[in-house]
Amino acid sequence: MLTAFTGARIFDGVALHDDAVLLTEGEGIVEVGSSVPATAEIVTLGGGLLSPGFIDLQVNGGGGVMVDGTTTAASLRAICQTHVRMGSTGILPTLITDSFAATARVVEAGVACLGAPGFLGLHLEGPHLDPRRKGAHDPALIRPMEDRDLAMLISAAQRLPALMVTVAPAAVRPDQIAALVRAGATVSLGHAECTYEEAMAAFTAGAHCATHLFNAMSQLGNREPGLVGAVLDQRLPAGLIADGIHIAPATLRIALAAHPDGLFLVSDCMAAAGTTEREFMLGGRRILREEGRLTLEDGTLAGADLSLPQAVAFMVRTIGLAPARTLAMATRVPAAVIGRADLGQFTPGARADLVHLDADFQVLNVWQAGEKRV
């Protein structure tokens, strides 16, 4: 049966449309049109904005559940269910630096979670990072990539619908990056103290993204552009934590001017997302939540207390970015990073994942594959 969504502005992944109608049929998008077919069931939204469901490529947890060495398919499903209520209809649950055994267990949990609503694959952020840019990652677990790591990651990339792997040039070789890319992984650079030339060597090998741009990486300098400079110069995809804490507003505006298309929003949220918890544990370490910040007891930032709708609102209200460009950073752009043209845009045949927002970008309603979830 055709369903016609009316009464809201419609963002199709690229542009905003007034007085338009979104037509869906079953699990898929039919078109953004101007009239309601006589045979369609009508959903009247009564204002606000209708967008493709948000895509979050860096989600460490939610609903009180963390991605860690104890993760199961059930806990991954629970995290996905938390995030759909927050407007993200597709996510990559993210494991930060851990042991080989813990990483392998999370991969198996991901494989067992295939087909769960909202589960798009996994993001493994470490352990092959640079201890000089460890951030909140446990330095005792950071290490160079070994043959068994590469074999496990290649297998994971072949078994999962999407696998993003964050690495640092100091911990991986170009041939290892190339092997991961051939297997289908999205290799992202992050937690890296590297030169422009070292970053470019990794990009030449196939790395094609950067993890939380500006945070935990070599910065743009006048004589040494660093990883930030390499990403902006090459205009490669990169995630941004837009909470006003991780990146100064002026720095965000500079990055957006240098990189017109390809930057995308991530929440980098932790177990506290979707809860009122004031603290939780991360690898045996206490994480404190206060005034929009998540920190270790020594004050080191440990992820973000953020949702993608909040990030969108920040970009529009504080940074002054146009709503259409901002919404693309939470929908079409991240979907493209993991090769999902069927997500993040209202094109014929795309999946009917929808989020209905009010004027302040608060979530009102959510549909996944045509089924109402919120």
Give the residues across from 290 on adjacent strands.
293
The CATH superfamily label for domain 54-337 reads Metal-dependent hydrolases (3.20.20.140)
| Location of structure tokens 């996510």 | 91
Number of helical (H) and strand (E) elements in the chain, helices listed first: 10, 23
- Residue of 167, 196, 194 whose CA lies nearest to 180: 167
Q: Return the number of other C-beta atoms located less than 10 Å from residue 291's C-beta.
A: 6
**CATH for the stretch 2-51+346-372:** 2.30.40.10
- Average pLDDT of the residues in 299-326: 96
Residue 282 — very low, low, confident or very high, per pLDDT cuts 50/70/90? Answer: confident
pLDDT in tens, 162-182: 999 999 999 999 999 999 999
Instruction: Find the length of the chain.
Output: 374
Cα(354)–Cα(112) distance, integer angstroms? 26
- What's the CA gap between 341 and 273, in Å, rounded? 27
Closest CA to 3 of 62, 47, 59, 45: 45
What mean pLDDT is predicted for residues 3-17? 98
Task: Please state the separation of Cα 1 from the chain's center in Å.
Answer: 32
Short-list 266, 300, 333, 271, CA closest to 136: 300
> Is 360 known to be catalytic?
no
Looking only at Cα atoms, what is the longest distance across the chain? 64
pLDDT of residue 285: 87
Question: Percentage of the chain with pLDDT > 70?
Answer: 100
d(CA 137, CA 347): 39
Residue limits of CATH 2.30.40.10 in the chain: 2-51+346-372
Nearest to 66 by CA among 211, 241, 269, 297: 269
What is this structure's pTM? 0.97
Q: What is the DSSP string of 18-58?
A: SS-EEEEETTEEEEEESS--TTPEEEE--SSEEEEPEEEEE
- All CATH 3.20.20.140 domain ranges of the chain, comma separated, are 54-337
DSSP-assigned letter for residue 317:
I
Which residues lie below 8 Å from residue 166, measured CB to CB, with a gap of 6+? 123, 124, 125, 126, 129, 188, 189, 190, 191, 211
The chain-wide mean pLDDT, for the chain, equals: 97
Q: Residue 92: helix, strand or coil by DSSP?
A: strand
For residue 21, give both structure tokens.
């109608």
Q: What is the pLDDT of residue 283?
A: 79
Pick the catalytic residue from 98, 130, 138, 268.
268
Give the bridge partners for 100, in sequence order: none
Residue 43: the pLDDT is: 97
Phi, psi of 165 (to 5 degrees): -125, 120
Axis crossing angle, helix 174-183 with helix 147-159, rounded to the nearest 10: 20
**Cα–Cα dist 121/200, whole Å:** 27
The Cα–Cα gap between 104 and 369 comes to: 30
Is 38 buried (19+), middle (13-18) or exposed (0-12) by CB count in 10 A?
exposed
For the segment 342-348, the average pLDDT, to the nearest whole number, is: 98
